[in-house]
Structure formats: C-alpha cells, structure tokens
Amino acid sequence: DLLRSLGVALTGGLLSSVPSAGAYPNAEPLSGTTDANKIVLQTSNYPTKYEGTSTSAVGRSPTETTASSSASSTMCVEDPAQDRITIFERTAPSVVFLDTFTERRDALTMNTMEVPLGTGSGFVWDDKGHIVTNYHVVRQAKSAQVAILTRVFEDDENSNGGARSSSSSRSNSRNRSLPTATTKPISTSGYGLASYRRKMYPANVVGVDPNKDIAVLKVDAPVYDLFPVDLGSSANIRVGQAALAIGNPFGLDHTLTAGIISGVGREVRSPTGQPISNVLQTDAAINPGNSGGPLLDGRTGQLLGMNTAIYSPSGASAGIGFAIPIDTVNQIATTLIRDGKIVRPILGISYLQSRQASALGITKGVLILEVPPKSNAERAGLKGTRRMDCGLIEIRDVIQQINDDVIENEADLFKALEKYRPGDRVKVTVGRLTSDDVGGNFQYQSKKVTVTLTLSSSESVNTGTLKFNNAN
C-alpha cells in the first residue's frame, strides 16, 4: 500500500521513481520483489514506452525511462552481479563440454580399447550443429563426444519425447534469443539452468587449422537443442573492459569466471610453432579444460574470443590468460565450414629454426635448408644449404626481406606471408654466402640478392588426416 500511494522505491538510500498503480488505468497491480540491494517492480501491462529495463532510473520520472522491445518490463537500478547472472544463463546453453578419447592396446589380451584422453570446452557456432574449439583439444583424439545443454519439456516427462518441429525453434537470425517452443519448459528455480539437461552427441571433424589452433566439429543434434553463441567483434576491444569466461576447467562443466581485458595485440605460438597475432589477454581465471571456451563481453555477452592458453609456472591460473580474437575465429571457422580446409601462401622451401641457426652464426634472417627441384623457389633462383665434398656444410641463402617486410626470424616470415594469397608474386631478398678456396682455406663473402617468386599454396590439415573413428 505504501508503494502504491507514494509510487517510489528507496534503493540503497537513493530515490528511484516508478509509476504507481493509479497512474495508468490499464495497468495491473504492481508486484514487488526485494533483496538487500534493490527493489524490483514488475507488471505485465505497462504502456509500451515504459517497457524494458532501466539502467539509470535513479532520479528520473517514468516518462524519461528508455523504451525497449523486451517482452518483460522490469525496472531496477543497474546491478553488475545481476548482469553477469543474466549473461551466464543466456550463454551457458551455447557452451559445450568435450570429452576426447584415444585407443590403447591391452597388454594381456592385445585388444584395442578406447580410453579417456582429456576434456575441453567449445561453443555452438550455428544451428547446423557446428562446434568451434581449439585444435590442440582434439589433435591426438581418436574420437570425441560433445555434451550440450538441451531443454527439458513437459512432454519429455510425460512421454518419450516425440519429435518437435524445428521451424518453431527460432528465427534464422544469427542474433538469437533463447528458442521458443510450443511446450512450456520445466524449471524449478525460475529463470535458471534447471530447465536444461546435458545430452551427449558423438562429434565428427569438419576441418582444422593447426596454425591458428582452431577446429570445427559437427554434431547431429536437433535444431531446438542448439543455441548458437552471439558473435561480437574484436576490432574495437579496449584494455579495461569487463570480460567473462565460461568453460569446463578440470572437468567442472559450465564454470563462470570474471575479469577484464588486460592486454591486446599479444602473440602466442600455435601447436605448429607458428605465431597467432592480435591475441587478447585477460585476467579472468582460465585453467586446463577452459581451452576452446568463449571469452565474452562483460556488458553485452557477445563473443570476443576463444580461450586458448595461459601463462603459468605452476600450470594453474596465474591471472594471465590468452584468447584468439573473434575476428580471427570467424574468418577461419567460416572457411573451414565452407571448404573443409585452409589454404595459405608459402615460399615452397624448408628452413632451419632460429635457435638452431644461431649455432651456425645466423643471428638474423631465416636460413634456407632445402629448395625442392622444379619448384617456384628453384625457378626464382633461391639456393639451399648443402654439404660439400669435403664434408663441410655450405650455407648459402638467408631470407632477409619479403617486399618491404624485414625478416629476422621465422615468426616474421609467417606474418609477412599472411598478407598475400597463393599465386601472388613477391620480391624476396636474401643474403647469399659464397665461398672461395684459397690455399685450402675457405673465405666467405656475403651479398644481397633479390629474386621475384610466385607464392605456392599449402593446405592445412583437413579431415583426411584428422578423422574420428565415429565419423561417417
């Protein structure tokens, strides 16, 4: 009665104006829910312009409240904890739990057995059943199972759960709210995860990109069980903005941790040793098992990146985690789904890693080990290292520059090549060592040589080289 007569709510000592029951003749009586931090007033029959959730209702009249298209009309003071809860409950069904398995031979019977290999995380990419995760989560697996949170319907409790029409599940938009259904979902605790249960599906490999540590799997799940994650953009991420990580650390499924974006533009190594650039750094706790899970915007819940690695002397979270940015994930995942493989430009040579080359006195550049016969590199005039008749190793070409990009190590080489496509022509500058035998003593001279080379193509690992046993 006091709320109806005054039409105001005291929240933490601040005055927040709310419409009274008598102010709108068509409105239903107000219902209030309280806790230590806020008073929430709800009605199902506010005029349209008062619908929605106000993020700054303090000191504002009802006519100043921002309109929203939300079906519910909850007005409350902004609560970061409630925002995290809302984002988690909306996004958790998009996060999957991965169990990987390998084969071992029994020492006594010599029979081949399937044994657990590890666990990881992933997220639903689309309503076709595509699941995105890290390549290193599945690279040694012979099979994998994906656990998805699926909705529980009333008719599931009363029958065997007959088929439902996928057309009523959701619209075709990628900005998805939770699916609607003709039957009411069962929930024992309001808007929570009580209306979901885990369901296991065998996974097939669609394609992988080891150089970017990205893999795309596919499960044969009905569309009403799939909740694609809401994609964001990593182009305008700023240090300090809130971030949330959801995953399965140490096998504890759907664990939420919170933090901030603590750095951008980082670089980590992929399983093949090639660099992954523009990686996000976060202090949200990431542990073994979080790999492949989503890093979310703490305000909107949109996907910012895919958790992939941590820096830790102990092996547990030390507050330094890394995520592949969503713009990179989006490009690679879309290509893998469409083509099943990634094609990248290469010089067509083999090289010696920088650590090994330094033992030979090569401190800058990339030493060419071998140039295949009849390759574009041989036609361009590049020369590899060789062993002379006397048994000594003759060092010849060291790559120093590609077009305008200076090459100091193999990481610089990979970054430079990412700018081009197979078939592009580039200028490669090498330092060529030549030797002269002067009285039994070899004297070396170095000179710069620039050649024009047509880039070849190299396909990443595809389903032909990584295929689960349960794949069709």
CA distance from start to end of the chain: 66
C-alpha–C-alpha distance, residues 189 and 165, integer Å: 27
Is 213 noted as a catalytic residue in this protein? Answer: yes
Closest CA to 280 of 308, 317, 299: 308
- Do residues 226 and 282 lie in contact, with contact meaning Cβ atoms separated by under 8 Å? no
Q: How far apart, in whole angstroms, are the C-alpha atoms of residue 54 and residue 74?
A: 8
Give how far Cα 258 sits from Cα of 122, 167, 268, 295, Å.
Answer: 18, 36, 22, 10
Residues 6+ apart with CB under 8 A from 249: 255, 285, 286, 287, 288, 289, 290
Choose the catalytic residue: 99, 127, 213, 397. 213
136, 143, 209, 397: which one is catalytic? 136
The one catalytic residue in 270, 291, 317, 460 is 291
* Length of the chain counted residue by residue: 472
d(CA 294, CA 308): 9
Residue type, 169: S
Reported in sequence order, the residue ranges of 327-440 that DSSP labels E, i.e. its strands, are 343-346, 350-352, 366-370, 386-387, 393-394, 397-402, 405-406, 425-438
CA 415, CA 402: separation in Å to the nearest integer? 10
- Told to judge if 314 belongs to the known catalytic residues of this protein, a careful annotator would answer no
Distance (Å) of CA 28 to CA 38, 41, 303, 387, 421: 21, 12, 38, 90, 63
DSSP string, 270-298: -TTS-EEEEEEEE-S---TT-TT-EEEET
CA angle 239, 245, 246 (to 5 degrees): 165
Verify whether residue 291 is a known catalytic residue.
yes
Q: Token match 């603590």: residue?
A: 262
CA 22 vs CA 6, 8, 11, 289: distances in Å: 10, 13, 22, 54
Residue carrying structure tokens 């065997």: 160
What are the angstrom distances between the C-alpha of 377 and each of 24, 350, 356?
A: 79, 11, 23
State the catalytic residues. 136, 213, 291
